[in-house]
């Protein structure tokens, strides 16, 4: 019996007033999750079925929607389960899995938005070279970059965390994240911290690349009315998403490491949930419904469904 291994169990933060408002919280988050699934699935299906939308910009948008479904599914089902049963516990292996899914999804979103910024840069600044630079092969490579790199980063992150001996098992958050688990360790976490800053710096550099690309686009668009039209139609929404990601991810990462216990629980939960609620709902609207071709075909599919 002594040789039998077991998985320790973590306890998660319990939402304030959850005893009184548990069913209201459950209903609100269930509606959010259903909306995320419906909107992202609808945009993805329309892009896949409509051959006219099989262009790099729409393929990257489809990738963004699929990734948002993947990331939301890493959080909402477990949180809804906790609210329903009023039980905020999670086995260590499930905690590691949730951490992997949520943060790999956030990294994939950041990488996809970077690729979309590159796509817009080539389309506006180098329109004659667009189909040469963004052919099927290069699009496949960019999509692999969006998915494989976050997976590799997160596997290394979890391997580094798994070697640590833990002394405590309470995570002061509504869901699992790597640094919250690392802080429970009795051992030195210097290597984990250094690697964590490396990953954060890498994706921060991607965000800087996006901003610089848009600055270059703004300069390039001064000379042409058509360029300005394209920029306002497709790039300004992108900038909103990038700024939202930078603020949400930066504050979440910094608060987990250096946040004060004096910060109100409501603010803690807002910082933790903002990047899991706003982007999956906003991305299909900002990127998809803002684009005329996508909007037309979504409306067309909706009309066809009603006729049936």
Record the pTM. Answer: 0.86
Tell me what pLDDT residue 248 has. 76
Contact 114, 156 (CB under 8 A): no
Half-sphere exposure of 248 (CA within 13 A, CB side): 21
Tell me what pLDDT residue 230 has. 65
Contacts of 192 (CB under 8 A, 6+ apart): 157, 160, 161, 164, 178, 179, 182
Contacts of 187 (CB under 8 A, 6+ apart): 164, 165
**Helices 236-258 & 92-125, crossing angle to 10 degrees?**
150
Tell me what pLDDT residue 2 has. 43
Distinct helix (H) and strand (E) counts, the chain: 11, 3
Question: How far is it, in rounded angstroms, from Cα 142 to Cα 116?
Answer: 10
Tell me what pLDDT residue 3 has. 44
Beta bridge partners of 166: 185
The CATH superfamily holding the domain 9-307 is Rhodopsin 7-helix transmembrane proteins (1.20.1070.10)
Cβ neighbours, 10 Å, residue 149: 17
Cβ neighbours, 10 Å, residue 118: 18
Per-residue pLDDT of the chain (308 residues; tens, 9 = 90+): 344 445 678 888 888 776 778 888 899 999 999 999 998 998 888 888 888 888 898 899 899 999 999 999 999 999 999 998 888 899 988 999 999 999 999 899 889 988 988 888 888 778 888 888 999 999 999 999 999 999 999 999 999 998 888 888 888 888 998 888 888 888 888 898 899 889 988 888 887 887 787 777 777 776 666 666 666 666 666 777 777 777 777 777 777 776 666 666 677 777 778 888 888 888 887 776 666 666 666 666 655 655 65
SS3 9: strand
Tell me what pLDDT residue 204 has. 81
The CA-CA-CA angle for residues 56, 59, 64, to 5°, reads 125
The dihedral sign for the CA sequence 62, 63, 64, 68 = positive
- The pairing of strands 89-91 and 170-171 is unpaired
Q: For residue 83, give both structure tokens.
A: 């609210």
- Cα torsion through 138, 139, 143, 149, rounded to 10: 20
The candidate with the shortest Cα–Cα distance to 84, out of 23, 30, 33, 29, is 23
Q: Could you give phi then psi for residue 162, rounded to 5 degrees? A: -65, -25
End-to-end CA distance of the chain: 62
**Cα 63 → chain centroid:** 12
Q: For residue 199, give both structure tokens.
A: 């990953």
Question: How far is it, in rounded angstroms, from Cα 269 to Cα 21?
Answer: 16
């Amino acid at each position: 019996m002594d040789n039998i291994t077991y998985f320790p169990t973590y306890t998660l933060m319990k939402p304030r007033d959850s005893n009184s408002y548990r069913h209201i919280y459950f209903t609100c988050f269930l509606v959010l999750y259903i909306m995320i699934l419906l909107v992202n699935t609808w945009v993805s299906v329309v892009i896949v079925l409509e051959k006219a939308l099989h262009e790099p910009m729409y393929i990257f948008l489809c990738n963004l929607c699929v990734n948002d479904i993947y990331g939301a599914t890493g959080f909402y089902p477990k949180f809804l389960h906790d609210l329903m049963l009023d039980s905020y516990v999670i086995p260590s292996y499930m905690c590691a899995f949730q951490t992997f899914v949520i943060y790999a999804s956030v990294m994939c979103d950041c990488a996809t938005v970077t690729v979309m910024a590159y796509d817009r840069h080539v389309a506006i600044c180098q329109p004659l070279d667009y189909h040469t630079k963004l052919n099927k092969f290069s699009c496949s490579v960019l999509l692999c970059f969006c998915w494989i790199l976050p997976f590799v980063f997160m596997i290394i992150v979890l391997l580094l965390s798994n070697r640590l001996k833990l002394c405590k098992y309470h995570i002061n958050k509504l869901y699992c994240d790597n640094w919250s688990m690392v802080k429970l360790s009795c051992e030195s976490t210097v290597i984990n911290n250094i690697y964590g800053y490396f990953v954060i710096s890498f994706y921060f550099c991607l965000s800087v690349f996006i901003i610089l690309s848009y600055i270059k686009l703004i300069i390039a668009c001064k000379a042409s009315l058509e360029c300005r039209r394209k920029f306002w139609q497709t790039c300004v929404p992108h900038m909103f998403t990038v700024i939202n990601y930078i603020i949400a991810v930066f504050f979440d990462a910094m608060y987990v490491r250096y946040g004060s216990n004096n910060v109100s629980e409501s603010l803690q939960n807002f910082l933790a949930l903002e990047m899991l609620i706003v982007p999956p709902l906003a991305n299909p609207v900002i990127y998809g419904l803002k684009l005329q071709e996508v909007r037309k075909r979504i409306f067309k599919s909706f009309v066809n469904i009603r006729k049936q």
